[in-house]
Amino acid sequence: MPPISSVLGLATENPCTADQNICNTMYDWTSNATFADWSELLIGKPLALLALLLLGLALRWGLHRVIDRLVRRTANAHHERGSAIGSARRAQRIETMGGLFRSIVTGLLVAVIGTMMLSQLGVDIAPIIASAGIVGIALGFGAQSLVKDFLTGVFIMLEDQFGVGDIVDVGEASGTVEAISLRVTRLRDVDGTVWYVPNGEIVRVGNLSQNWSRTVLDIGVAYSEDIGKVRRVLEDIAHVLWEDEEFKGQIIEEPEVWGVQELAADAVTMRLVLKTTPGSQWAIAREMRQRIKTRFDHEGIEIPFPQRVIWHRGEAAPSEGDAS
């Protein structure tokens, strides 16, 4: 039986190159140059693109699994040898870094696999690679603030300067951190205002809730009061709060009365400190002030208000001669 190409009157010269496996296979089967040529376009190219896509997805899945495993292993190691207060924070930080690395891996794979797929479609990728270098230079000069924001965001996460849920002061804005990205940090202050702070604009950070916090109370009493008695009363109030079940988990260590902090114009200032869990210092301070006021009233200890001593020097009345 004659070949199909002879029956249909089609070209029979092999159009395939040595590296076109699909084309050569179809030519061997049909001895038809047209079928072989079209098979490379209709079968070879889609198969190559599909193979690259599957390769990219497989690499992404495998690398993400490796990152997730490292994240879990690191989090478990820190949890085993860390304190209960810092474990949750470290786990949050490690998970944030895991998400960052997963995003970087995905971006690199999209760029590499996408370029290879364009090459399979016959697109000259040399200008694309050259353009990428030019774009990088342009970004370096024309988008310095954006690059600065991204680099600062990376170091904020790497150095664990603050995390979601922390209460921070970044200069012009302060509040609770609601979200962190590589470019911007979102804060919400005490009155509900939301602040968006570019990471590159953050030159210093005051973190009020990292690992532990401290309530510092300066209590003024009158100069006439017995300082020893005042100290014992303050120690007793703080100890009762320390043993209160409602605040048991919020106060980390036994409260301390440091003693006389200042001899002011109107009062003797006593300093009392309590080490608390992050974010609990304000609630503990309000509770302590209320208990101190109630106990001082019961003990008859005076919390003085500002007082001033005014000396009035009377002048002698003028004589009748002077008056005339």
What b-and-e string marks burial along 224-246, b requiring 16 or more CB atoms within 10 Å of the CB? ebeeeebbebbeebbeebeeeee
323 within some domain: no
Question: 207: which strand partners?
Answer: 168
**Would residue 310 count as lying in a domain?**
no
DSSP string of 101-134, one letter each residue:
HHHHHHHHHHHHHHHHHHHHTT---HHHHHHHHH
**SS3 (DSSP) at 7:** helix
Give the tokens for residue 45.
Answer: 């190219």
- Domain of 192, CATH number, reads 2.30.30.60
Query: What range defines the domain where residue 203 resides?
Result: 156-207
Percent of residues, the chain, with pLDDT higher than 90: 23
Q: Is the pLDDT of residue 8 over 90?
A: no
SS3 state at 220 = strand
Q: What is the structure's pLDDT at 308?
A: 73
Residue 313 belongs to a domain = no
Distance CA 49, CA 121 (A): 8
119 and 166 housed in the same domain: no
Poorest-pLDDT segment among 34-48, 134-148, 188-202:
34-48
Residue 28 located in a structural domain: yes
Residue 232 lies inside a defined structural domain of this protein: yes
My answer on whether 222 and 279 are in the same domain is yes
pLDDT at 252 over 70: yes
Instruction: Give 16-46 pLDDT, tens digit per residue.
Output: 655 565 666 665 566 656 555 555 666 667 7
What does the pLDDT read at residue 293? 94
DSSP state of 4: H
For position 277, which CATH number holds? 3.30.70.100
| Residue 18 and residue 102 in one domain | yes
On the question of pLDDT at 288 being above 90, the answer is: yes
Helix 144-158 and helix 84-120: axis angle, to 10°?
Answer: 140
CA-to-CA separations, 147 to 138, 141, 144, 183, 230, in angstroms, rounded: 11, 10, 5, 9, 57
Q: What is the pLDDT of residue 197?
A: 92
Specify the pLDDT at position 1: 35
Q: Name the average pLDDT for the chain.
A: 78
Same domain, 283 and 195: no
Q: Quick: pLDDT tens for 55-64.
A: 888 998 998 8
DSSP assignment of 13-60, as one string? S----TT-HHHHHHHHHH--HHHHHHHIIIIIHHHHHHHHHHHHHHHH
Same domain (yes/no): 200, 243: no
**Does a structural domain hold residue 148?**
no
Q: Total domain count for the chain?
A: 3
The pLDDT score that the predictor gives to residue 4 is: 40
d(CA 26, CA 7): 17
